[in-house]
């Protein structure tokens, strides 16, 4: 048994970042983690492995589609799936070991095993009870499925199974056109699978700007992905090697079946709170099954905090990380801060999709007068040279004050470009502030500047 200032349950991006910050602020800190490696969903079965496969499959796409046009001739590479998986596993290993190193460097103790909270001020790991002045729950999330859909992680898989399939399937059906479905659907489509995405709603990536949704879906269709929209999946039937997906079209209730070698269920994730003992502690939950917290990330039980996927808000690694730093500040007696209005979202397909702030629909719903500045990557010299002219940057600004309210990008490096808009928004900048900032030529970032110019007197290269 040991006494700590703070014990964090879970070592995902919320938990490990929180632990390092707590230690930096002089608190005696430990993290309980039940997995064999640190880093949570993100490093083990989420952000990092999926980005490794997206990168590898994008390289194949470039070789197959663009190399010859640039005068790079020769045999196109073929896919060695085992090697691709081992590259992905190596990437995971480097990252998870990196967190172990950071824990040692910052003197954060790893309590190996699954933790529970028998009472406020105590964390039990493997029958040992540790005392903690503060407890931070960062236990993350797990995939949620559908009634009638049984996951076996072989034929009917969640994202976790989809990151380690035995082979590249001939036919893959993806249930859900959200972030996971489209990222992993893209990976397999590029590797040669026939991918069909079945989505309940009429648009992909719910909650995004409608114009981006349309362009994104059209672009993915051009890349060979088939979409069945407005379709409610009823059930799956699987054998050891194949599955059938039954769905009903919402417009006419007609029933349909598609065959697949692999079915990826990507219909959202839910907080993972099993075994923590929250009921007995009387911890309040939201209607959607998340841990309810106040503005200081504290639950209704004093000294117990929660951060990351287990609480409300977008299930994103960087949101969890920032909550981790803010909650650490709180328990150290400082003032933690996170601006929920400026959390970027990125989809790492090709082209990438990125957004921050309000969509046009949200501004309309709020009755806010706004203007739109748009610029196509077709007018960007660098994008044209790199076969990356598809897509656009769209900036939304207040009609009267010109203050930037949101930005939506589909195009090359969108996930990096969005951050200059985030910084601008944090400083309350106007579109003119962005437009008056000199941007290096030739860079993709000039497209952001041009969209800002389009909010005023006009873009130059439109
Ligand atoms: P998690 O990362 O889920 O970590 C929680 C940890 O707590 C786990 O390791 C778990 O083992 C441990 N734990 C749980 N209960 C206990 C217990 N009782 N005792 C001990 N340990 C416990 N987000 C992005 O921002 N960008 C991306 O590109 C991205 N890609 C993704 C791709 C996929 C396929 C998936 C599934 C998710 C992706 N996400 C991405 C989402 C991101 O992974 C999560 O938002 C993020 O990991 C949440 O962090 P967290 O710290 O709250 O929890
Ligand atoms: P999601 O919420 O993004 O998408 C789920 C989709 O499934 C929705 O479009 C929904 O309408 C659809 N759906 C639900 N029920 C259905 C049914 N019966 N039939 C057909 N479609 C149905 O969830 P997803 O993709 O599983 O991702 C989970 C979380 O992981 C997301 O919240 C996301 O933030 C995070 N993530 C983030 C990434 C990133 O930042 N790049 C990458 C991957 C995941």
Averaged pLDDT, 431-454: 98
| Dist CA 48 CA 98 (whole Å) | 13
d(CA 37, ligand 1 centre) in Å: 13
Tens of pLDDT along 2-34? 899 999 999 999 999 999 999 999 999 999 999
Over range 359-378, report the average pLDDT: 98
**Residue range 37-78, pLDDT digits in tens:** 999 999 999 999 999 999 999 999 999 999 999 999 998 899
Overall average pLDDT of the 319-339 stretch: 98
* Residue 145: pLDDT over 90: no
Residue 342 CB less than 6 A away from ligand 2: no
- The predicted model gives 380-386 an average pLDDT of 97
Which residue out of 17, 20, 275, 317 has the highest number of ligand 1 atoms within 8 Å of its CB and is therefore the one to mutate? 317
Ligand nearest to the CA of 309: 1
DSSP 8-state symbol, 288 = T
Distance CA 249, CA 323 (A): 40
For residue 171, how far is the Cα from the chain centroid?
25
Q: How far is the CA of 141 from the centre of ligand 1 (A)?
A: 6
Give the ligand at the shortest distance from the Cα of 232.
2
The verdict on whether omega for the bond into residue 442 sits within 30 degrees of 0, i.e. cis, is yes
Distance CA 327, CA 14 (A): 10
pTM (predicted TM-score): 0.98
Q: Rounded to whole angstroms, how far apart are CA atoms 198 and 208?
A: 18
- Ligand 1 atom index nearest CA of 184: 34
Phi-psi label, residue 209: left if phi above 0, alpha if psi -120 to 50, beta otherwise: beta
Length of the chain: 462
Give pLDDT, residue 76.
83
Name the CA radius of gyration of the chain, rounded: 23
Q: Residue whose CA is closest, atom 5 of ligand 2? A: 267
Pairing of strands 3-9, 128-137: parallel
The position carrying tokens 């397909």 is 349
Q: 267 in helix, strand or coil?
A: coil
**Residue 65 appears among annotated catalytic residues:** no
Of 177, 179, 266, the residue with max ligand 2 atoms within 8 A of its CB, to mutate for a pocket test, comes to 179
Reported as a single tens digit per residue, the pLDDT across 88-133 is: 999 999 999 999 999 999 999 999 999 999 999 999 999 999 999 9
Task: Tell me how far the alpha carbon of residue 460 is from its chain's centroid.
Answer: 34
Average pLDDT over residues 352-360: 98
Q: Which two tokens stand for residue 346?
A: 């990125």
Q: Structural domains in the chain?
A: 3-143+270-331 (3.50.50.60), 156-267 (3.50.50.60), 345-454 (3.30.390.30)
Give the pLDDT score at 264. 98
Mean pLDDT of the chain: 97
CA 150 to chain CA centroid, nearest Å: 24
147-163: pLDDT as tens digits: 999 999 999 999 999 99
Res. 301 pLDDT band, cuts 50 70 90: very high
Task: Express each pLDDT in 72-89 by its tens digit.
Answer: 999 889 999 999 999 999
Strand 255-260 with 243-249, pairing: antiparallel
Please say whether the beta carbons of 174 and 181 come within 8 A: yes
């Amino acid at each position: 048994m040991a006494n700590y200032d703070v014990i964090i349950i879970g070592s995902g991006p919320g938990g490990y970042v929180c632990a390092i910050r707590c230690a930096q602020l002089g608190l005696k800190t430990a993290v309980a983690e039940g997995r064999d490696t640190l880093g949570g969903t993100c490093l083990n079965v989420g952000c990092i492995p999926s980005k490794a496969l997206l990168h590898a499959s994008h390289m194949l796409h470039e070789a197959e589609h663009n190399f010859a046009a640039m005068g790079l001739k020769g045999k196109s590479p073929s896919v060695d799936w085992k090697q691709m998986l081992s590259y992905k596993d190596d990437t995971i290993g480097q990252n998870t070991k990196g967190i172990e190193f950071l824990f040692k460097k910052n003197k954060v103790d790893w309590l190996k095993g699954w933790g529970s909270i028998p009472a406020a001020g105590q964390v039990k790991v493997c029958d040992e009870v540790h005392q903690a002045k503060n407890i931070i729950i960062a236990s993350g999330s797990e995939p949620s499925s559908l009634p009638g859909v049984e996951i076996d992680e072989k034929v009917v898989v969640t994202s976790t199974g989809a990151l380690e399939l035995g082979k590249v399937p001939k036919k893959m059906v993806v249930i859900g056109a959200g972030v996971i479905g489209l990222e992993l659907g893209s990976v397999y489509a590029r590797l040669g699978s026939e991918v069909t995405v079945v989505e309940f709603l009429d648009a992909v990536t719910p909650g995004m700007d409608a114009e981006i949704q349309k362009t994104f879906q059209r672009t993915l269709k051009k890349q060979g992905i088939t979409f069945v929209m407005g379709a409610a999946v009823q059930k799956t039937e699987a054998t050891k090697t194949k599955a059938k997906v039954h769905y009903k079209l919402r417009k006419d209730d007609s029933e349909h079946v598609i065959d697949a070698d692999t079915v990826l269920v990507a219909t959202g994730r839910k907080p993972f709170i099993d075994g923590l003992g929250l009921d007995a502690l009387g911890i309040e939950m939201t209607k959607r099954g998340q841990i309810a917290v106040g503005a200081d990330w504290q639950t209704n039980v004093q000294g117990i905090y929660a951060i990351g996927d287990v609480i409300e808000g977008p299930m994103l690694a960087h949101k969890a990380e920032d909550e981790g730093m803010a909650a650490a500040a709180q328990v150290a007696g400082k003032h933690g801060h996170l601006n929920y209005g400026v959390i970027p979202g990125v989809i790492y397909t090709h082209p990438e999709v990125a957004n921050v702030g309000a969509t046009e629909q949200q501004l309309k719903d709020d009755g806010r007068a706004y203007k739109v500045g748009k610029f196509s990557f077709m007018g960007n010299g660098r994008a044209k040279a790199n076969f990356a002219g598809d897509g656009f940057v769209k900036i939304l600004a207040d009609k009267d004050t010109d203050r930037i309210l949101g930005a939506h990008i589909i195009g090359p490096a969108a996930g990096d470009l969005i951050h200059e808009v985030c910084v601008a928004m944090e400083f309350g900048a106007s579109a003119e502030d962005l437009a008056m900032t000199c941007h290096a030529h030739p860079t993709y970032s000039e497209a952001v500047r041009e969209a800002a110019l389009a909010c005023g007197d006009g873009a130059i290269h439109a």
